[in-house]
Amino acid sequence: MPEHTDKNSFDPVHRNLFLHDVEKSIKEIVMRVIQFREAIAEAMSEEMRRDERVFLMGEEVAEYNGAYKASKGMLDEFGPKRVIDTPISELGFAGIGVGAAMNGLRPIIEFMTFNFSLVAIDQVINNAAKIRQMSGGQFSIPIVFRGPTASAGQLAATHSQAFESWYANCPGLKVVVPSNPYDAKGLLKSAIRDDDPVIFMESEQMYGDKAEVPEEEYLIPIGKADIKRQGSDVTIVSFGKIIKVAYSAAEELAKEGISCEIIDLRTVRPIDYDTVLSSVKKTNRLVIVEEAWPLGSIATEITFAVQRLAFDYLDAPVRRITSKDTPMAYAPTLVEAYLPQPKEVIRAVRDVLYLS
């Protein structure tokens, strides 16, 4: 290239090459930003283009572009045989999905909320999770059940429940709970390609969240946690939208000189115990933040694993911050009291550091 870089002095061929290199460099520096719902739609659309066996079924996924607009434009591209609106009958269309998977298709079944999945739980637990074993491996069940989990504002008791630990308790299922658009896209693509049933749990309060997501294809392996923030004083483990509470607490604690390492599990079955244990062996302290009732929670399981496998590394008892052990109320003051809050995480971190 000549010493000067006046593009007008290049011949047409070299000028186009120069502009192409500049455009490529800009794209590498400035990655596009998209919403969580767009990441979900992209993952499904890309996999449907890749594999004609993949289809989407659920309430309002087609004509309405999805209850949360997470399937926007998909009906237009793929047509009504692959993007299918259903009646309000979760048991029925979950069962159709299981049967389709047994016959070689790869369905994505959307629940408008996992609160409604309780109507279909027989199909999920007794059929999808068990047919591979009960058939002696003759059938695989490549199916994804996806939709929002946990609370989404003032929706009261029956529309605000977190069922991650319920489904994670069942052998035969994989359970994914992403916390951001980048992870959501990569994990959903992996879930759709998986030959076993995957529970993919989102959040109504995250669909508008934005993050950098590359246009190029990428996959994130199921079962691998991610260290979102490096730290040295205490390990905070969380997943899903409630991890934002951990981020807020870590920012406040950093002002006091307390360094928090934050691990996003991303998948709660299987759990990446190795990443958690490695961090605890470094920081010697653990706080777990989870939006779920305390009894039988993911936090309980991680606490057991750490005391069993890293007890000698702990300098303080493990602390967990969960939802309160009661159905969630409607009043905003009670919603705040019910959910984990940054101040609770800050208090727990100070406790394990003996600063209270």
CATH number at residue 165: 3.40.50.970
pLDDT of residue 1: 47
pLDDT digit string (tens) for 258-268?
999 999 999 99
With a cut of 70, say whether residue 2 has pLDDT above it: no
Lowest mean pLDDT among 103-107, 153-157, 316-320: 153-157
Q: Domain range for residue 262? A: 226-353
Residue 69 CB coordination number (10 Å): 17
Burial of 325 (0-12, 13-18, 19+ CB in 10 A): exposed
pLDDT of residue 9: 56
Q: Which CATH number covers residue 296?
A: 3.40.50.920
Residue 7 inside a domain? The answer is no
Pair 91, 171 in one domain? yes
* Confidence class for position 176, pLDDT limits 50, 70, 90: very high
Residue 9 inside a domain? The answer is no
Residue 46 inside a domain? The answer is yes
pLDDT digit string (tens) for 94-120?
999 999 999 999 999 999 999 999 999
Pair 175, 109 in one domain? yes
* Confidence class for position 44, pLDDT limits 50, 70, 90: very high
Q: What percent of the chain lies above the pLDDT cut of 70?
A: 92
> Last residue of a domain, which of 194, 214, 234?
214
Beta partners for 237? 263, 288
Q: Looking at the annotation, which residues are catalytic?
A: 90, 159
Give me the chain's average pLDDT, please: 94
pLDDT of residue 356: 78
Q: Hey, is 148 helix, strand or coil? A: strand
- Retrieve residue 134's tokens: 């009960």
Pair 232, 172 in one domain? no
Residue 162 inside a domain? The answer is yes
Q: Which of 99, 100, 56 is nearest to 78 (CA)?
A: 56
Pair 112, 87 in one domain? yes
244: Cβ contacts below 8 Å, ≥ 6 apart? 179
Distance of CA 291 to the CA centre of its chain: 13
Q: What percent of the chain lies above the pLDDT cut of 90?
A: 91
Residue 1 inside a domain? The answer is no
- Retrieve residue 297's tokens: 């929670």
DSSP summary character for residue 79: -
Q: What whole-number distance in Å separates Cα of residue 224 and Cα of residue 230?
A: 17
Half-sphere exposure at residue 130, Cβ-oriented, CA atoms within 13 angstroms? 10
